[in-house]
Amino acid sequence: REFKINIAIDGPAGAGKSTVARKVAKELSYVYVDTGAMYRAVTWDMLNRGIDAEDETAVLERMGAIDIELVPGDEGQRVWLSGTDVTDEIRSLAVNRTVSRYAQIEGLRAELSAAQRQMALRKGVVMDGRDIGTTVLPDAEVKIFMTATVEERARRRFRELPESDEAITLEQLESEIAQRDELDRNREVSPLVCAADATVLDTTNMTIDEVAEAIVRQADLKLSRTGQ
């Protein structure tokens, strides 16, 4: 396929965005970009330096010294922060619990969004996040808003918890996910909201393959209409 499009996938935590986006990218030979990893990497750095999200001046000043690189690979994207591979570290509970507070800061979002747009300039990108279809890539040819009940999303996340993390119950995890959704949906700058022209996919009772197939079908439709 010579002609390429961009695919934007948004939705709350645990909806299946990254798993499905990775699969769709593989099938189309596109590049997968996990924008959440960038917010996580920034958060990890700020926590290490003891910079609180309330201190916006300090956060933005520190942003100037941070260099994030997303490296696509066979086993998914790897995340490098100023020369260190932080792919595993950024999935910690400490980052889960604070990332949405840093993600509310307008200047921080502006910087990361600009970098994300750069990555999609040449098309052929499957990008997932919270504001991709609305703010980062409003011209994406395919836009998906992926959802699932909070109970199902918590169950999915519970299953994949690393053993090294502190113990957390399913109920606690569900309430933490609900809290993060709440912050993401209600922030002032590019909140988590379904774009007017996005297709809503409720994945509660869908397998990963079914969801990926539905998206590839939409992409194929667009490609056959615009590509010739």
Q: Please choose, out of 49-57, 64-72, 164-172, 201-209, the segment that lies near ligand CDP by the rule CB under 6 A.
A: 201-209
According to CB under 6 A, which one of 4, 70, 129, 223 is a site residue for ligand CDP?
129
Q: In terms of Cα–Cα distance, which of 225, 218, 224, 227 is closest to 27?
A: 218
Distance from C-alpha of 144 to C-alpha of 192, rounded to nearest angstrom: 13
CA distances to 71, 110, 118, 163 from 159, in Å: 26, 34, 34, 11
| Window 63-102: contact mask with ligand CDP (x via CB under 6 A) | ------------------------------------xx--
Q: Please choose, out of 48-56, 58-66, 118-126, 152-160, the segment that lies near ligand CDP by the rule CB under 6 A.
A: 152-160
Burial of residue 200 (CB within 10 Å: 0-12, 13-18, 19+) is exposed
**Is 123 assigned a ligand-binding role in the annotation?**
no
115 binds ligand CDP (CB under 6 A): no
**CB of 102 vs ligand CDP, minimal distance in Å:** 8
For the chain, first and last CA: distance in Å? 11
Six-digit token string for 173: 């995890």
Which residue matches tokens 């010579």?
A: 2
Interaction residues for ligand CDP, span 170-199 (CB under 6 A): 180, 184
**Is 18 assigned a ligand-binding role in the annotation?**
yes
DSSP state of 68: E
203 binds ligand CDP (CB under 6 A): yes
Q: Please choose, out of 31-39, 59-67, 81-89, 118-126, the segment that lies near ligand CDP by the rule CB under 6 A.
A: 31-39
Distance from C-alpha of 34 to C-alpha of 77, rounded to nearest angstrom: 8
Rounded to 5 degrees, φ, ψ at 99 are -55, -40
**Is 17 assigned a ligand-binding role in the annotation?**
yes
Q: Contact positions toward ligand CDP, by CB under 6 A?
A: 11, 13-19, 35-36, 39-40, 99-100, 103, 129-132, 156-157, 160, 180, 184, 203, 206-208, 211
Please enumerate, by residue number, every residue annotated as part of a binding site for ATP.
11-19
